[in-house]
Amino acid sequence: MNTPGRIVLIRHGQTDWNLEERLQGATDVPLNDAGREQARALARHLRAEGARWDVLVSSPLGRAVETARIIGGILGLELAATYDELVERGFGPHEGSRLAGLEGPARERILSAGEPVEAVVRRGLAALRRIRDDHPGRGVLVVAHGSLIRLTVSELNGEAHPRIRNCEVVPVRTEALGAARLRHDVSESTAP
């Protein structure tokens, strides 16, 4: 029997669209210099903690891949794989829209036009199960996106998780992966 591994989710570093409070979704927006420094700072922090990390994976979007490669360069890990299921929640024609200053119905209209929350959660759970099964008993760093992480972790924990900051680390309760079955409705109001 394999010993359970450890999985942590990391939101990619900052992009110009994050800074401008634009909805990125699946649009491939690159990191900015601040985002690269966030990734380096996080990697130094992870190295100083002394925990063992065996595997590094990410979303295939450039901002996640670049964040992962920066972290891996400092920790001595190669990017092992990208998982399509880790792509950020899609918002179609609303990608690039500014959310700054939008409240109430205007904000909800844009967010509700995106990929359904249930679909994002299913993808997130599928990705985590696949990562767990691909790397049993290993310590895995997973670089992904804010809405995907928040919605997936909310489902796993059975309560709404707050907004995820750039380069924030969110541990995954791997024991909950087998039981998660879209238990509740996750609010969109804090997205992305």
Distances 113 to 89, 91, 123, 186 between C-alpha atoms, Å = 11, 7, 18, 15
Contact 30, 66 (CB under 8 A): yes
Structure tokens given for 35: 């985002």
Map tokens 């249930």 to a residue. Answer: 118
Residue among 20, 21, 45, 88 flagged as catalytic = 88
Q: Is 135 a catalytic residue?
A: no
Could you confirm whether 12 is annotated as catalytic? yes
Which one from 12, 85, 135, 145 is the annotated catalytic residue?
Answer: 12
For residue 146, CA distances in Å to 4, 65, 137, 138, 184 come to 25, 15, 26, 24, 19
Q: Which residues are catalytic?
A: 12, 88
